[in-house]
Amino acid sequence: MDLIDAIKGRRSIRKYKPDPIPEEALQKVMEAVKWAPSWANTQCWEVIAVRDPKVKSDLATALPKTNPALSSVTDAPLVLVLCGKKGISGYYKGQPATVKGDWLMFDTGLAMQNLCLAAHALGLGTVIIGMFDHKKAEEILGLPQNVEVVAMTPLGYPATEGSTPKRKELSEFVFYDEYLKKE
């Protein structure tokens, strides 16, 4: 699949078939995470692949009932929980190197986008889920203090196509030479 087509064609998928994911496809998705860029190549991400229906059900209790992705956490054959090790990305000799502090959210975001695009290229669906009780998810998964849960996504074959939410026009967010300056 052409990269630009993949970027434009990927949609958030919230309905899944129960069909299992071939091991080879899962490895390709994980490889896409592996090759994401990161601060000084620190690779602070960790991924928990949740297959156990009991753990998936427990994770679903961390989502608010209003989250439109709720059913996907139990319906999809797999849920990938993206975690980040704290105090590594954006740090130099133990001190934050910039005013932004920990770049964990940025690097795990890049990893997640790689994951979602690779899944899409393989015919698999994803939806990034950020709206949930992170502390509860961390307890369910037994995370240590130095690691945090950032986001999760179900992974599986789409049962329906995702709708395409409208995007802003380039003229609304691209400026030249200074803020708000248009060509």
Selected binder of ligand FMN within 30, 55, 110, 131 (CB under 6 A): 131
Give the one residue of 9, 87, 96, 162 binding ligand FMN; rule: CB under 6 A.
Answer: 162
Rule CB under 6 A: is residue 123 a binding residue for ligand FMN? no
Residue 68 in contact with ligand FMN, rule: CB under 6 A:
yes
| Nearer to ligand FMN among residue 96 and residue 162 (C-beta) | 162
- Interacting stretch for ligand FMN, rule CB under 6 A, among 7-15, 22-30, 117-125, 173-181? 7-15
Give the interface segment with ligand FMN, choosing from 20-28, 31-39, 62-70, 75-83 (CB under 6 A): 62-70
Residues 41-52 as b or e (16 or more Cβ within 10 Å = b): eebbbbbbebee
Tokens read off for 94: 């133990």
Round to whole Å and give the CA distance between 94 and 101. 11
Distances (CA, A) of 111 to 50, 82, 152, 175: 18, 9, 12, 27
- Least Cβ distance, residue 134 to ligand FMN (angstroms): 11
Residue closer to ligand FMN (CB basis): 3 or 180: 3
Q: What per-residue string of b and e applies to 149-162 under the rule 16 or more CB within 10 Å gives b? A: bbbbbbbbbbbeeb
Is residue 69 close enough to count as binding ligand FMN by CB under 6 A? yes
Q: What angle do CA 161, 163, 165 make, to 5 degrees?
A: 150
Write out the two tokens for 45: 């991400």
Q: Dihedral (C-alpha) 86, 130, 36, 156: value to the nearest 10 degrees?
A: 130
Interface with ligand FMN by CB under 6 A: which range of 10-18, 53-61, 73-81, 169-177?
10-18
Binding site for ligand FMN (CB under 6 A): 11-12, 14, 67-69, 127-131, 151, 162, 165
